[in-house]
Structure formats: C-alpha cells, structure tokens
Structure 1
Amino acid sequence: MTRPELHDDPGAAGDWTAPGVYRCAPDVYRIPLPLPDDGLRAVNVYAIADDAGWTLVDAGWALAESRELLAGALDVLGSGLADVRRFLVTHSHRDHYTQAVTLRKEFGAQVLIGAGERPNIDEVIRPGHTAWGVHGARLHRAGADELATEMDAEPRGERDMAGWERPDGYLADRAVVTVGPPAARRRLEVVETPGHTRGHVVFADEASDLLFAGDHVLPRITPSIGFEPRPTATPLGDFLVSLQLLKDRPDAALLPAHGPVGRRVHERVDELLEHHADRLHATLKAAEEGRSTAFEVAGALTWTRRERTLPELDRFNMMMAILETQAHLDLLAQRGILTTEDHGVVTHYATP
C-alpha cells in the first residue's frame, strides 16, 4: 500500500476519500479510512495533537486495510498506533467504533463514547444478538415482507459482528474533554445530538471555530435515522431537535465523518431542516392519497439525488428508504397529523 502523504486539506476541490493526511486546522488532521463494500466509501478520522501523543475523533472500521492506512498516516505525523492515547467516538456504528476497541486491546488507548449509546452497545454484545433481527422486524412492521425475507436469506460475514466491546467510559452531555499540550489546551464540549443513533454526540471546539460532527451533519448527504439495535420511538423527531440545537449554538466550521471539509454548520443545518420538511410534506401527501404502510409510501417517493424510484435501489438501500419513510410517518403520527392502526405486525397510517 502506498504511504500516505501530508497535504493541506483541499476541501470540496479534492477527492475527500483519497488516502492521505490532510491538515484542516492547526494541529488537527483528517485521515480518511476505507469502507469496503459500503456506498460511503470512507470515514474521516480526525487526529488532534495531544500531550505526548494523539486523541482521535472516531476510529474507523476494524479491518486490516483500515489499520494499515491509519498506521501509515500516523507515521507521516512522526508517530505510531501506540501514540494514540484516546478515542472520542461520536456513535457506535462499526465504521466509527470497532477499530478503537481493536487497537485498545493491543496498545491500551482509552475509548470514550456518548452515554446515550449504552443501550446500543449492551444490545450488540448481548449473547445471541444478530445485526439483522431488529431491522427485519421493522421491515415487517413496514409491510415489506418480501424484502425482509430476501434480506434474511442473504449471507452475512462474521466480520460484521467483530470488534464489539464496552468502552472505557461514557461521556455525559455538556462534559468537557481537554485535549492538547499544556501550552495549547483545547476544550471539546460533548453535545448530545440523538437521531442518527440515540446516543450520537458531536464535539464542539468553540475557541477554534470547529465542530467534529460525526454523522449528525454531513455536507452532501442526509444521514440515516435510527438505524441501530435499539432505536427510540421517534428518531426523526430527535434528529430535528438536535439539528435545531446546533442552529442555536455558535456557528462553526464543519468537520464531518463522511464528505469534504469546508462548509459551515449553520448553512448545512438549514439545508437538512428544509430537506426533512419537504420529505414530511411528500410523505403526508402519499398517505392522503391512500397509501397506508411505510412500504407503500416509500414506493411513491423518489430517492437519492438521482431521484430514483424504490425498485431501482439495491436491497440494502431499499431497506434504508423504507425505514426512513417509517420514521417520517411515525413523526407525523406523533404530531397528530396521522393516525396509526396495527393489523397484525404491520402498522397502517391514515389521516384522521
């Protein structure tokens, strides 16, 4: 594998997934790590110079190619994997969490994550847990029985469940993590932003005008909502409240987990709020026309920036589209705009 090189971060002008080490602020470096077999292609890990080592925001997926690239990136910075003192993880999805746990076993780095992720991690490490179980049940609730059956029959590699252990500690909302040598201390405020997952957090460095945003605010795409082992009742409602929370805080430069740097938080939050307002309107219109299940409503909408129909998506993204539609329908029901009625395991929605 080619040794990574150090560059100033080109932002949107470059390929954000290209391996390398990208300086995006003084003593802050973006390291994109690969996500094989994943449409996102890469995850940004941020290395922050710390006292006699590094603190990393997020960690990557515990795969050999990811580890090799991370080791090479740290070598460019004059360090190694043993110099990582701490991982601050935004949420418990495997592409953010599992490499932290794997490297902890070998080098002893501390792994910290938001307190709200405890139910998800407890569920994942529970004996007998399968990643598919909860998602299959949600598809059946959405009326997508055929898709649920097809996905249940798909082979799943053991690596999907590898690398899960409890963290060293859970971070409370508004806790402050101090990073950096004594002469240049940073104060990273932990801000709970549930929605993408129930315990997602971002790290705000107000003095440096930076927000390490994880998957909560992404510059080019909208994050999935509530795709986790233990979702809340209305994850979309949680997500919209969390977006407004960031809008009410000081603006900052956006350091996302997927996509290029270079945007401002408030600008992108406005776009995400507008997007979900439009989707709620379209979802309600489809329900008013007589489509009663999440599967039926999803089939009336278009998906991705290419405006694809539901059958044009692959199975995984079809599932994600249906579950996102379910989240929008549940929020409309919570607001009293739609009613719900369960027929067996299937939830049907209707106007009052």
Structure 2
Amino acid sequence: MRGALPDVEEFAGGWWSIPVPMPGGHIPYNLCYAVRDDAGGVHLIDPGWPTTGHLDVLAAGLAHMGAGLSDVRTVTATHLHTDHLGGAGDLRAATSARIVLHREEDRAVREMAGRRPAHAASDAIDRWGVPADRRAELEAHAEERVERPTADVLVDDGDLLPIPGRSVRVVHTPGHTTGHICLRDEDAGVLFTGDLLLPTIHPGVGLGAHGDANPLADYLSSLQRIARFDNEAAPGHEYRFRGVFARTITTAEHHLRRTREVQRVLQRDRAHTVWEVASELTWSAGWANLQGFFLMSALAQTAMHIEFVQTDAGRTAGG
C-alpha cells in the first residue's frame, strides 16, 4: 500500500485500472476504473479525490487506453465518500459527463448539503460521553472539506449502467453508506466492490446517512448478497483479488467479533457510555493512541455495535 502508485493496467476484457492519489497518507490511493462503450465513449467508476492535478492523473491514465477526458460520458460513484465521488464534480465541469448515483446515495448527498457536519458531530459527542478535554480534536474532524456533486442519473438495484454494449448491473449494497452499490459486469465476470469488500482492509460501517436502518445489519446482509458473485473483485482500494465468497466470510467475522466484544462489556453490571465501552475494546493501534479521525471513527463504530447487539439479529450474532 505504501510507496509508488501501482501501474495503470488493463484487465477483464477492456477495463482499465487507474490509481488516483489520496491525501492523508493512511490509504495512499483509490482505484478508478474505465471502459469504452460501443461508440468509443469512456465511462468511469469512482474517479477519486479532487486533489490538485487530479484531472491530469486521470488524463494520463486514459491515455493508456487511447482516450482523453473529452471522451468521458458517465462517471459512476459506488458511494458518496470524497475519495470516490469527490472528483466527479470537476470531471462533469470539464467534460459534461453525467454523474450516476444510487437513488438513496443522491438523497443523502442532498441532505448532507443542507446541514453543518460539526453540529451533528457535537450532538453525537454529547451522547457518547466524550470527556471535555477530548472534544476539540473530534469536532475539528467533523467539518466537510469537499462539496459533493449531486447526480444527473439515478439508478436502483438491478438497473444497468448507461454504457452501450456493456451489461454492468447495479447491486444495492447498503451498510458502508446507505446507497452504496457494487457493480457487476455480467459478460466480463468482474465485480466492482467499492468499499463494501477490500482484499485486506476491513471497511468501516455506517459512514453515511442511514435513517432508522441499522448499518451493521445492512452491511452483513450486503456481504451475503455479493458472496454468490465469486468473480474477480475490483475494489475501491488496494488491489484486485479473487475469492469473493471467502473474503465476505472473514470480513463478516471481523465485525461479529467486535459485536461479541461489545456484548461482553455491556453485560457487566454497571452503566456504560459509548466512550466507556470503546475504551474497553481491542483496537489495533491501542485505545490510548487513537486520535482525531481515528478516534471519531472508533466511537461511531462502537455506538453502531451497541445498537446492533440490542436487536434480535445482534443478540443472536453475539451469542
């Protein structure tokens, strides 16, 4: 994952993988995917973070397939996070390409545009019982840095992407976010998994608007849904891999281990805040070392697991 970006490369009968740098360092790049349609137009999946020079990176990648930015017709994002959807706005402005999102994800983008993230974060920090001396670092990571573009084309589960000559079908896979989608090229035998399933990283859950749904329950159901597509997987980060079924099992078990750990803490005979529960869990970096974004994520994940273990499905999973 560290060091130089991987090469731009062709795979699965005409698809191309274009690594796009990400700021921050903890994940150095996302993978944008490109394919031509029957008329010569180009279609992208997850164009990446809109850093300075972002369009130049994409243009250089497209040159490997004999194309340019002016050939781009659609840009599909598997979900609303900046490293997947963020660069779509610049692309649309530069090329007039249409942005494609799942209906629920577009709704979430529009809802998020109408509120201050710091206000919602402050409310959550209150509920979680965060000590006063740790509030400031969490609130500092709540402000949005990039405006997310809304969709021109809305898709639902089972729809085909508007790519002439290609049968790329939408599979609604909520959990990571409400409107997260995977995309299956039925002829090429490749499954684009976004951030639902990665080869070594365990994606976070509940990182987008979810309303009354429990994101962990949604996520586990989504893993079960894609397990039958045991094709080559083209994820949003790291590298392509095979063995989708096996990876869904290990990924689900990772989250269920955390569910069982949370349940054991909650069974102790005393009141618990989210902060208190999180402080008693096992974190790969160590609880004392979690700061800023990573601490905020740990608390959000803990709150979600607490909610999950109070459901029938969660009690069964934790038993």
Q: Do these two structures clear the TM 0.5 threshold for a shared fold by scoring above it?
A: yes
Q: Are 1:321 and 2:302 matched, yes or no?
A: no
Which amino acid letter does the alignment assign opposite residue 41 of structure 1? P
Which amino acid letter does the alignment assign opposite residue 280 of structure 2? A
Q: Deviations over 1:224-259 (max 9, x none)?
A: 111225554411111111111112x33111110011
Q: Deviations over 1:13-69 (max 9, x none)?
A: x86961531223221111111111152221110111223121111111122232221
Partner SS for 1:43:
strand
Q: Are 1:267 and 2:242 matched, yes or no?
A: no
Say if 1:68 and 1:325 are closer, same or farther in 2 by CA, change over 3 A. Answer: same
Which amino acid letter does the alignment assign opposite residue 258 of structure 1? H
Q: Are 1:236 and 2:216 matched, yes or no?
A: yes
Matches within 5 A, 1:117-266: 117-126=105-114, 129-146=115-132, 149-151=135-137, 154=140, 160-177=144-161, 179=163, 185-229=165-209, 231-247=211-227, 249-266=228-245
Which amino acid letter does the alignment assign opposite residue 136 of structure 2? E
C-alpha displacement of 1:145? 4.4
Which amino acid letter does the alignment assign opposite residue 27 of structure 2? L
Percent sequence identity over aligned pairs: 29
Q: Is the 8 A contact 2:118 2:139 kept in 1?
A: no
Q: Whole-Å Cα distance in 2 between the matches of residues 121 and 46 of structure 1? A: 22
Give the TM-score, by structure 2 length.
0.90
Unpaired segments ≥5 residues, structure 1: 1-13, 339-352
Q: Whole-Å Cα distance in 1 between the matches of residues 313 and 254 of structure 2? A: 21
**Residue number among 42, 55, 70 corresponding to 1:54 in the alignment:** 42
Partner SS for 1:316:
helix
Q: Deviations over 1:58-88 (max 9, x none)?
A: 1111222322211111122222111111111
Aligned-residue Cα RMSD (Å) equals 2.4
Count of matched residue positions in the alignment of Structure 1 and Structure 2: 314
C-alpha displacement of 1:100? 1.0
Partner SS for 2:135:
helix
Which amino acid letter does the alignment assign opposite residue 76 of structure 1? H
Partner SS for 1:122:
helix
Q: Is the 8 A contact 1:45 1:60 kept in 2?
A: yes
Q: Whole-Å Cα distance in 1 between the matches of residues 60 and 154 of structure 2? A: 29
Q: Whole-Å Cα distance in 1 between the matches of residues 179 and 2 of structure 2? A: 30
Q: Whole-Å Cα distance in 2 between the matches of residues 172 and 155 of structure 1? A: 32
C-alpha displacement of 1:204? 1.0
Q: Whole-Å Cα distance in 1 between the matches of residues 106 and 282 of structure 2? A: 35
Unpaired segments ≥5 residues, structure 2: none
Larger strand proportion, structure 1 or 2? 1
Give the TM-score, by structure 1 length.
0.82
Say if 1:292 and 1:153 are closer, same or farther in 2 by CA, change over 3 A. Answer: closer
**Residue number among 34, 44, 55 corresponding to 1:67 in the alignment:** 55
